[in-house]
């Protein structure tokens, strides 16, 4: 099992998710953050929420959080953001990467995977905005 990003939504205290694995956004988070820094926008990883990952690691860390409802936990303790904030970052990041493609990966170029994941994030966050929800990029293990 690999670590991925899902776009989660919070509306009226309830969490839902697009439940779509965006592995490239997680795998290349550092490089995407460097591009964000170069173009003067907030880091994409600022929108990450690790509540789910931390809950899933609890047994390995000797904590007694096994079996906890992570959606409830995220609703209560997660970091949530206004969709306009995420859309502003993604719009500029996608524009930069379209104008100046970046090589993602060592053995092969995963640029198309990264772009597809970012475009899917953008669509999911647009859905959150239309629905009046808040969002975060959930780190899922």
For 94-116, the pLDDT digits (tens) are 999 999 999 999 999 999 999 99
In angstroms, the CA 12 to CA 134 distance is 10
Query: Does pLDDT of 93 surpass 80?
Result: yes
140, with CB counted inside 10 A (0-12, 13-18, 19+), is buried
- pTM summary value: 0.91
User: For the chain, what is the mean pLDDT?
Assistant: 93
Q: What is the DSSP letter of 82?
A: -
List all residues 6 or more positions away from 137 whose beta carbon is below 8 Å from its beta carbon: 5, 6, 7, 8, 25, 44, 47, 48, 49, 86, 121
Query: Could you tell me which of 44, 123, 112, 114 has the C-alpha nearest to residue 81?
Result: 44
Please report the pLDDT score of residue 67 as a whole number.
62
Query: Does pLDDT of 68 surpass 80?
Result: no
- Which range marks the domain in which residue 121 is found? 4-140
Please report the pLDDT score of residue 85 as a whole number.
98
Domain total in the chain: 1
């Amino acid at each position: 099992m690999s670590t991925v990003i899902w776009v989660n939504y919070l509306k009226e205290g309830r969490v839902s998710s697009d439940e779509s694995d965006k592995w490239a956004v997680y795998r290349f988070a550092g490089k995407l953050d460097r591009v964000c820094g170069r173009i003067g926008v907030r880091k994409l990883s600022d929108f990450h929420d690790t509540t789910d990952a931390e809950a899933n690691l609890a047994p390995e860390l000797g904590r007694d959080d096994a079996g906890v409802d992570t959606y409830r936990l995220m609703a209560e303790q997660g970091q949530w953001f206004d969709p306009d904030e995420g859309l502003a970052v993604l719009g500029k990041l996608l524009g930069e990467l379209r104008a100046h493609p970046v090589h993602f990966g060592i053995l092969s170029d995963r640029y198309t995977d990264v772009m597809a994941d970012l475009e899917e994030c953008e669509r999911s966050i647009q859905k959150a905005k239309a629905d009046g929800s808040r969002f975060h990029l959930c780190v899922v293990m």
